[in-house]
A and B are shown apart, each in its own frame.
Chain A
């Protein structure tokens, strides 16, 4: 298992390099540059700015300069947020995104799996229809509709919670964003869990277990749950990545200082270093989460482990 993990980690290096290179070319190829603004800057000022950010060097030198800084853990200076380095910006935004996205994914997993199991075990009952309704609502209503409704009800009508903003990890400011992300993720997880468990429950080995006279609880917990969780584990990685790094709508509706907003602002402002820095971060996060998913697969499925 350790050598497998190590091999996987080493394999991330070429992946990372390929992603950085592709992204580097793309952001620089996008029309418009970091210094294009409503008020055109004069040629002289443009030259000053380009010199400040090493954009006066030939592209390959800029690229090598960037890679060299990256190797030293320096993501560079932000073009848009001139007083901050990309490291500062990531350090400020990541804890917010990790807390909101991480907690929501954890809650979603527990609630979604629970609801999925309930629905599968009572197929075509009221409970099943209820879970499916939640699943469909979560898929049908976009977050930019559900978010403002949550604000309207819990902040403006009931005055229970703040309408948005962020205040040093105070729980009151986290409840609604986490609720929004959870609602959307639960919908996916519950649907996948229900479908997967239903399929497993109809397989031969479960029929055998039942024939042996095992009670349903044991059949589900001991035999059906593990294989039924595999598809859920597969969707957890993309869900976690999107909840942590791409929760733009949630961050906009609730005015949160997270990663999603930085990416969009970075791209819109042609903040090359910020976009590249965040791409590096997301790639590392994606590779790590995929690795965790694979390890979870191995833990859940002996066939994978023995390979």
Chain B
């Protein structure tokens, strides 16, 4: 195929092809492997599905990431590396060509071909599959959104097999992070013959044909999922673990007890308030990595209480993020004053000019803003959050900050998670807890939270000028210009204070010290069992 790429794109393609690091789990010199390479890791919930097209939660994706492999993947540190594709290049601003490795096989021995990828992607956006991510990722594929909404057939989606091992993907606008996006298994291949043969039971043990480093051996709902090494996997020689058992233990205390009893080697998340204590007790096992994720509070900007930006700004200014991080949550999270968290690509981190002011000055300014807006001490607002000890602690702290510093009374309203998300979606709240974990490492993922007309925008705020900048950035194939436009757009939106950024998530957990390959740089918390190994102990 003739390649007609702009010069800078051609250079980019070349650099991608040359910059790939070693693919397999790197075992440091001197480390001796344990004779038994098995791992029990808690996943905190029962997966909603093992169908990669339907998988939605972090838990389900953890397992499908072991079972399946897309054109790209991520390494132990979260960096994008080749998966099924050996290399890729951008032939023009909206066209990518992925050259697949020819030795990749399904767990039944069938070769993995370009047609499998095409089938997987078309099936993912097919309304019949009803994937919740169909439109989230579909918008980045030519005709993807139209196919997901039933306006065009899935055969019109911009993905096709150029030959048995070459896939071409077209995007509706330049999507510089497409390789990043394709590491999500929703956009990966599935084995058409077994899907068609077994119908809805195709993901059951004995039926599931996978192309990742592991195969499905056993699935006992709410008890365990056991994976075994896939001997047909193209890189099987570098996969150390022979068996991985995923537990669905959702109770954090029970999780720690199982760890202490030696029945679990990976505590998904520590119970609130136990980080310091467990760090002292198990200094070699506690691992805490920052994530591409943010905790924040939404304003319902259409409600009369928060129509005025000065009120929103005042409330944001007086929450002491340092105390919140160090004393209240006290589990290694970092304060944030914007939505571009550390490690996020596609825009520069920005923060409010008042972020480094002394608190007294912030309070003084906040009081002035409230007075200008006509908000008197004693004014009442309602804060909604879903019942959880963690959220409650944070909410009580914020409530106390607003009361003691501004004299504002905030009533806390706890509710079921489903009720909260419904209220947020319908705008039936004044202030609400919110949070977001990145699906892919690009700022557009977070911008969806504050963009006009976005399904993910719970604040109902819209800055048309910023929106124009985002659209301009989306059409640009110059990464520098794009970054500058998106940084500017994000800053403009945040200066309207639709939300209160509070903390960048970190994930404190216990992982046995003999589990190797666990990197603290994996900011998307995507630990493929392929990259893990058991050190002699």
Contact = CB atoms under 8 A, between A and B. Distances in A.
A binds B: yes
Given A31-B419, A48-B130, A81-B46, A163 B135 contact: no
11 contacts: A32-B418, A32-B421, A37-B132, A48-B134, A52-B130, A77-B200, A82-B54, A89-B221, A148-B253, A258-B222, A269-B418
A80 interface: yes
B455 A41 contact: yes
A81 B221 contact: yes
Contact of B50 (A83, A148, A258): A83
Nearest to B132: A41
Interface string A233-273: 00000000000000000001111011001100100111000
A166 interface: yes
B74 interface: no
B258 interface: yes
B421 to A, nearest CB: 5
Interface of A: 30-33, 35-45, 47-49, 51-52, 77, 80-84, 88-89, 92-93, 148, 151-152, 155-156, 159, 162-166, 252-255, 257-258, 261-262, 265, 268-270
Contacts of A39: 56, 132, 136, 456
Contacts of A159: 261
B106 to A, nearest CB: 19
B421 A37 contact: yes
A93 B223 CA distance: 10
A270 B420 CA distance: 13
Enumerate the 5 nearest inter-chain pairs by beta-carbon distance, A residue then B residue, closest first: A32-B418, A163-B261, A257-B222, A44-B149, A257-B223
A262 to B, nearest CB: 7
Contacts of B435: 38
B130 A37 contact: no
Interface in B416-458: 416-419, 421-423, 425, 435-436, 455-456, 458
B48 A81 contact: yes
Contacts, number: 147
A151 to B, nearest CB: 5
A142 to B, nearest CB: 15
A186 B365 CA distance: 64
**Residue with the highest number of chain B CB atoms closer than 10 Å, among A36, A83, A166, A262:** A83
B150 interface: yes
Nearest to B42: A255
Nearest to A159: B261
Interface of B, secondary structure class, is loop
A36 B418 contact: yes
Contact of B221 (A31, A49, A93, A252): A93
Contacts of B203: 83
A44 B261 CA distance: 47
A163 B204 CA distance: 28
B307 interface: no
Interface string B218-229: 001111100000
Given A84-B221, A155-B257, A252-B251, A49 B130 contact: yes
B39 interface: no
B254 A32 contact: no
A48 B127 contact: yes
B267 interface: no
Contacts of B56: 37, 39
Name, among B251, B425, B456, the residue most crowded by chain A CB atoms within 10 Å (CB to CB): B251
A196 B54 CA distance: 57
A35 B261 contact: no
Interface string B135-165: 1100000000000111000000000000000
Contacts of A156: 257, 260-261
Contact of A92 (B127, B130, B220, B417): B220
A154 to B, nearest CB: 10
Given A38-B435, A84-B221, A254-B254, A155 B418 contact: no
Interface string B481-500: 00000000000000000000
Contacts of B421: 32, 36-38, 40
